[in-house]
Amino acid sequence: PKAVLSEGVKIGNFVEVKNSQIGVGSKIPHLSYIGDTDMGDKVNIGSGTITVNYDGKNKNRTTIEDGAFIGSRCIVVEGVRVETEAVLGANVCLTASTKIIDVTGDVPVEMKGIVPARSVVIPGSYTKKFAAGEFQVPCALIIGKRKPSTDLKTSLNNALREYDVAV
């Protein structure tokens, strides 16, 4: 219901689109739920991706801008914005409160709610102290920027090789 699919959109098997705007040439090939999302042109959504809007109090639309590449099994919710041509590796989970940590410089830079344009992002964790001890808490790590000379998938693979990480 209330879905607007633009020209050239590909919707595959077991995909539900609700109250969302899907831009020209975007692809949601299979097994995903896209709810309350504004999706730009030429976005690629990996299998098992979920976008929803409810944070427990408010409904917040998720935004995925033009040319973004969203890997398999990603969760993007609570009004998070994925900016133009950003790349999310498999299993990235983004909520309004998820730390997104840019580790490309000498000092980590933390943000929440926005994945900057052309960023390459993988799942990560950071140590948090609780009464019972220290534990790892999920976050998202920006490990590089998409290079103009490569396509989105190649950029993810190159960044993963450069930082010697597997996702």
For the annotated catalytic residues, the residue numbers are 30
- The residue type of 72 is S
User: Tokens 């929440």 map to which residue?
Assistant: 112
86: amino acid identity, one letter:
A
| Residues with Cβ within 8 Å of residue 90, at least 6 apart in sequence | 46, 71, 72, 73, 74, 123, 167
In whole angstroms, give the CA distance from residue 63 to residue 122: 19
The helix/strand/coil state of 167 is coil
